[in-house]
Structures are given as structure tokens and as C-alpha cells.
Structure 1
Amino acid sequence: MSADFAVDGTFDPEFGGVADAFSQNFESRGEVGASLCVYKDGECLADLWGGTADPKTGTPWTKDTVSIVFSCTKAATALCAHLLVQRGQLNLNAPVSDYWPEYACNGKEDTTVLMMLNHSAGVASFHDAVEPGALLDWDKAVSLLANETPWWEPGTRNGYHALTFGWTVGELVRRVSGKSLGDFFREELAEPMGTDFWIGLPEEHESRVAPMIPFKPEPGAPLSPFTQKMLTDPESLQHKSFFNNGALQIDSRGGRAAHLGGAGGVSNARGMAQLFLALSPSHSSDFYSNARIGAMGYVSTATRDDATLMIPTRFGQGFMCSMDNRHLRHGHDSSFIIGRNAFGHVGMGGSCVFFDPDADLIFAYSMNKMGGGILLNPRGQSLIDATYEALGYSSNAAGYWMY
């Protein structure tokens, strides 16, 4: 497939509408470089890529281009934890102190492993100013978290742990397995699945990375409540969750090399989709039982007012579930509308990956031009919508896609 804006790849004829939606993002929604991959019943029905990886050099986005996928990394980190749960080495209902004794202080003594996964642990950000470069040091980061005071009593509400999820869950993986998060992910999941997905990118792959293009709001554009709070209240959780990070530059060689399990993963749509094949009953893998997969996507926490994001959110055990916030003023950039029992994750700027067990569907999308908002923007959601429509689904008016 080719076009003036250099889209390439393959797709099943029944997914022509999906390919058209991918092209339309370049034509009318300002897409710069992107990739899309869809599996159905274990078969790849769309593998598309196109556009420009680096506008400064004119480098095209090729089949093997990768980029930071931000919080889609949380899905990979959660899969690591669930692999240990599956093996009977990690108990979701056990106190964190069973595995990480130093964590049990300053009001965190009763925190459970599940609270780490479903964003109810209360350590959604650091209170005190983080020293420059500290979050690139794993031991320093987990030491800071172990000594933190929670923003709320653990387990009483949920609030998105934007960066800290990578260390709260990642340190449990390290304590139980004896391996760093990035090494465990590579050896136990990425390499066995043959996926191009990294938590801690080796330097030899740097030439394939498409730099991210930051979102620039239009002058005078209305701000979401989260953004208003983030910009105007330095003591707020919203401000600290975004800015109190020790001047961390995730999209840099240092950031990509670090094991940032909350936001630093590097991949593309194909890599993310192939990772999620570990969940498909059509794929010959024995990573997870049906019961474990069902538990991953079962809604574990839900709220009308996320303590961090200030919107309604729904989380499974380490994953986002369908979130329909179209009724909000900024709802078109605050939603992630997928299947009723589907689960996955959105990355800052608009990347996403999910598995829908009802349809045996895996969907993944990555891009370099970041969008605004809190969850998906119209580029990603339009591709999800086209995919469900290609499968014969009729409506998402209920807050999830249904026949």
C-alpha cells in the first residue's frame, strides 16, 4: 500500500476501512509518523506504518521504526507482575511488606500488592522535590518511594500513578524474581514472544528511534481541570505528578536506557501487539491461565473523580479498562473506548494497546506526534472505532463497543 504521504504495510481486505482511517489521520488529523497493528484470532490482519520518523532530517517511518510509548509501558510491567502471580511467586492480596519490608512505613504499612497494580496505593507522586537525575537511578527511586507518605490512605480511592507505577510494581518484580524489571521483561516475555519492545533500550537500537514531537496547544484553547491544576498549584498532586521528576527527560538516550517501567518503554505497534499475543487463546503460549487473563481486565477500581487525573477512570489489575468520558467538556481527549471486557493501556500523547477477550482481538497504535488531553485523542480512537466496525460491531454508545 502506498500514498502521497508514504503509508506502507499490509492489511486484510475486510480491514480496508481500518487502512483508510490510518491514511485519513495523515490527510486530515496532522499525523506525522505512526504504526498500527491488529490481530484477530491470532492472525495479523493489519500491519501498517507510514509518514516521517524525524521531520528535522526527513527520515521516513519504516517497518522497524520504534519510539517511546510512554504509559503503554505500564501494560508490559503489569504483565511481568502477572507472570509471577501465575507462577505462584507473587500474591496480589499479600501486604507489600512481605516482599519489600522497607516500604511498610509512614502510613503505607497495610498496602497490598493489588493496590500497587490498580492505582489505589496512594503514592501517585513524590512530595518533596526530587534531585536532578535521581529517577534514572533505580535504587534511589525505590528508596524515595519506600519513605514516601501516601497522598491518601492506601486502598480508599484510586488516582493514576503516572510515573511511580514503574517502581511500585517494578520493584516487586525485582524483589521476587531477583532480576531488574527490564531484564525480567526481556528474558521472560519479550524474547520468548519475539517482540520488538524494550524497557531499557540497548544503545545499538538508538538509530531506529523516532523522536517524539511534543503537543503544542492552540493559543487560547480551554484547559482541562487537570491541566489548570497542574499549571497553577505547585503543591498539588497534579503539578507534582507531572513536574516533580528530577528534570527527567524520558525521550533521551538516558531515559530510554533506564528501566522506567511506568513510561519509558520503546516499541512500535507491531511490537506491542506481539507482546499481547501472550494473552490470545489462538496463540500457542502458556504464559497465563484463562482465570489470570480474566482477572487482569476485571474492573478493580473505578471512580468519578480520579485523585490525579480529575476525571472518571476504570482500572483492572494494572491495566486501563474502557473509559467513556465524552460527556465531559474535554471528553474527546479523555476517553479510551474499547470492548466491554477489553483491557490495555494508553500512553501519553495517544499511543495505545489492548486485548479484547470477547473478540480475541489485539490492537496497537504508536506515533511520534503527541496529542493533547489525558487519554486518547481522535487519531487513536478513530482507528479503534474503524477496527470494531470492521468486525461488525454496531455502536459504542453504551461506553464500550458492542454488536
Structure 2
Amino acid sequence: MAPGYEPVRDAFLANFATRAEIGAAVSVYRHGREMVRLWGGLADPDAGRPWREDTLQPVYSATKSAPAACAHLLVQRGQLDLAAPVAEYWPEFAAAGKRGVPVRWLLSHQAGLPVLDRPVPLADALAWAPVVAALAAQAPAWEPGTAHGYHALTYGWLVGEVVRRVSGRTVGTYFADEIGKPLGLDFWIGLPETEHHRVGRLVQQPVSETPPAELLTAYTDPASLTVRSMIATDPPLDLADPRTWTAEIPAVNGICTAAALARFYAALIGEVDGVRILDPASLAAATREQASGIDRVLLTPTRPALGFGLPVPGQPWWSPTAFGFPGHGGSLGYADPATGTAFAYVTNGLRVSLSADPRVTALVESLP
């Protein structure tokens, strides 16, 4: 740990002492150099397995920036045009009135495709092609481009299929070949079975919070757009199931260390050991706000960029120049080009809350 970052260590230890942390890791880069790498607690509290430096963790929606980076790398190389219709690369997508939907609306959650009319069998989602075919045939839930709404699960298949059609490789393979291997990242979309033994066990933790009535209704009504967006398969996806680790579900099943997630963000905003993912012009385009206001799915304010999330005031990582993505249960990866900071926190203690997680808040607020 670099001098001056002792408050991060103190906040990390306090999470275990006072905030019921189970197992976690945090990493911080500044201008391409790792300043902090900490890990601790239990990867599996039932078995007493300790969290180690190489413990891997599913990070849920913190995955979403990885397929976004793949798409923007294709744009940077002149292979993909975000203004072009999706159907130019994926002809079947033109069905159900979607012929004119541009690629950029897939990335900005404006395509109107956060749900499937009928959830697909879990095996279809794990196999990729059947769920992609279902999305190609699906009619939008709203007129594309007129609103934004979080594509919680469908985002990964939509963006991933465009990456596959353009590059000839699955998004997990493209990410590994073009980003993961050059940077030496312990970050996977489609985890090899040989690495399964390193994955921490997910533990659901209670949160004492009563959401506003209108949100409580939306988040508990099986017919709501909110609930349906989170359940695209039957049975629902369970990231404690090793079958979901091996498949490519690029909206949510990224599995990584905190060190790898932070290194990924550091390489988006600058060079890390001679490697940079996006040039400054590409990064600026990728992180430019595309919409703002109340999200049609989440029913809270959001600010989507092109595959990256932009923070709203009140979130611990708020900065007018920051971008990244939080993950269900508490994980977070983000970067702030203005300060040269890249940050990642991963945890196996899942807490679902509409307010900021006190564990990640304490860590972000401790940054020098």
C-alpha cells in the first residue's frame, strides 16, 4: 500500500469490525499505478475458507463496463458504427419494428428491450443463441429512443451479440483476447472450470430499509417492468450456480478480483504498464451522457452513457467526470479521469438497498 492511503486500509478494516463484512477486497489505482490492494475475511464462511489475494467474485452489474469496452474498441478500430442500425450487423434484429434502432441505443438503455414477453428456459440463456433469437424477435416495451430504462439482463446479450457479429468472437472471448490478456486481468466473462475453486460463496445479508411505497410496489409486483427486467429466465439466474459462471451472461456474470477490476478501469483512462484500452477521444465519446432523469425500469434517476453508468449526486463515487458501474449486492468499479483514480471493491456479502452501501461509501470517502 502506498503512503497516504492508510485511511483506505482503516476503512476496510472497519467494514469487518463494525459493518458486518464477510469477505471482500479493494484496489485503487492512481495514474496507472496500483496504490492499494487489500483483501480479507472469509471466501466461504460455512467452510471457513479464507479470502485470498486471488479469490474471485461474481460482480453482477459491475460487469457491464466490460462488454461496453469491447464495443468501443471495435468502434475505435473502425469496425463498428454506433449510429448504424443494429440490423446492419444483426439482420434478424429488424423484426417487430426495430429496423431503425441504432447500436448506440443498446448501450444507453434506450432500445426499449429490458424484458422478454416470456422468460426463456435457463438452459437457453446459458446456451446464448436461443435467448439472442428471442431478443431479436421481441417487440420493444416503449418506442425506442423516447425513454431510457435499465436493461438489467438483456443489455449483455444485446451488446454481446453485436460484438459477436462484428468480431466473429463471443464477447467473453473478445474481452479475454483484446483486453484481459494484454493487461493480465483475472477477470472473466465465462469462467473456465479450472478456476471455479477460487470463487467466493455468495451470502445474502439483510438490510433494514423500507423503500417508498411506489418503489416497493414496482419492486415486488411480478407484472411490473422492474421485476420482469430482473427475471429473463425460468428459473431465474442464480450466480451461486457454477453453471452460470461458465456461461457468458455479460450483463451480470463477470467474475474477477478487485485488483483486476481496478486495473481494467485504470487502463480505460490511461496507460497501465504500456497498455491503454481506449484513446482519449474514444473514452470521451463512450462516457458522454446519453439520457438523464427517471429510469423507466428502476424508477429512480439515472444517467446512462454508452455502456457506462454515470453517477448521480448522492452516490459515494459522485464526480462530474466519473464513470463506472455498481453491482447488485455492493460491488463497484469506477474511474475518474480528472483525478487519474480507478477504484474497485468486491464482496461476497450481498446487500440489496436503494441507498448507498455504507461499506463502499466508507472506502470511497477514505481516498486521498
Pairing 1:1-400 to 2, within 5 Å after superposition: 11-218=1-208, 221-224=209-212, 225-231=214-220, 233-247=221-235, 248-283=237-272, 284-303=274-293, 305-324=294-313, 326=314, 335=315, 337-374=317-354, 376-387=356-367, 390=368
User: What residue identity is the alignment partner of 1:309?
Assistant: L
> 1:25 is matched by which residue type in structure 2?
N
Q: Secondary structure at the match of 1:169?
A: helix
Q: Deviations over 1:289-328 (max 9, x none)?
A: 210111122111111x10111100011110111212x4xx
> In structure 1, how many angstroms separate the alpha carbons of the residues matched to 2:176 and 2:28?
22
The answer for unaligned runs of 5 or more in structure 1 is 1-10, 327-334, 391-403
- Counterpart amino acid of residue 222 in structure 1: T
The structure whose RCO (Cα within 8 Å, separation 6+) is larger is 2
- Superposed CA RMSD: 1.5
CA distance 1:238–1:342, shift in 2 (3 Å): same
The amino acid that maps onto 2:365 is D
String of CA shifts for 1:188-240, please: whole Å, max 9, x gaps.
1101110000000000101100011124344xx41354443131x32211121
Q: Residues 134-182 of structure 1, C-alpha deviation per residue, up to 9 Å, x if partnerless? A: 2112001100100111111111110001000111100000000000111
Contact kept, 8 Å, 1:100 with 1:172, in 2: the verdict is yes
C-alpha displacement at 1:375, in angstroms? 7.0
Give 4+ residue runs of structure 1 displaced > 6 Å after superposition. none
Rounded Cα–Cα distance in structure 2 between residues aligned with 1:12 and 1:293? 28
Q: Per-residue deviation at 1:271?
A: 1.0
Amino acid at match of 1:275: F
Alignment: residue pair count: 365
The 2-side partners of 1:136 and 1:194 are apart by 26
In structure 2, the gaps of 5 or more residues are none
CA–CA distance in 2 between the matches of 1:239 and 1:23? 35
Query: Cα gap change, 1:101/1:270 in structure 2, threshold over 3 Å: closer, same or farther?
Result: same
- Scaled by the length of structure 1, the TM-score of the pair is 0.87
Q: Which amino acid aligns with 2:152?
A: A
Q: Please tell me whether the aligned partners of residues 269 and 283 of structure 2 are also in contact (alpha carbons under 8 angstroms).
A: no
Alpha-carbon distance, 1:286 to partner: 4.5
> What's the offset of the Cα at 1:132?
3.9
Q: Tell me the amino acid that sits aligned with residue 92 of structure 2.
A: E
Indicate if the aligned counterparts of 1:226 and 1:238 stay in contact, CA closer than 8 A: no
Please tell me whether the aligned partners of residues 309 and 374 of structure 1 are also in contact (alpha carbons under 8 angstroms): no
CA deviation vs aligned residue, 1:226-260 (integer Å, no higher than 9, x gap): 443131x3221112112342212222111000101
Cα distance in 2 for residues equivalent to 1:204 and 1:68: 16
Secondary structure of the 1:13 match is: coil
Opposite residue 324 of structure 2, the aligned amino acid is: G
Contact kept? 1:212, 1:370, Cα under 8 Å? yes
**What one-letter code is carried by the residue in structure 2 that aligns with 1:310?**
L
CA distance in 1 between partners of 2:122 and 2:336 (Å)? 40
Q: Is the 8 A contact 1:70 1:347 kept in 2?
A: yes
Aligned residue type for 1:352: L
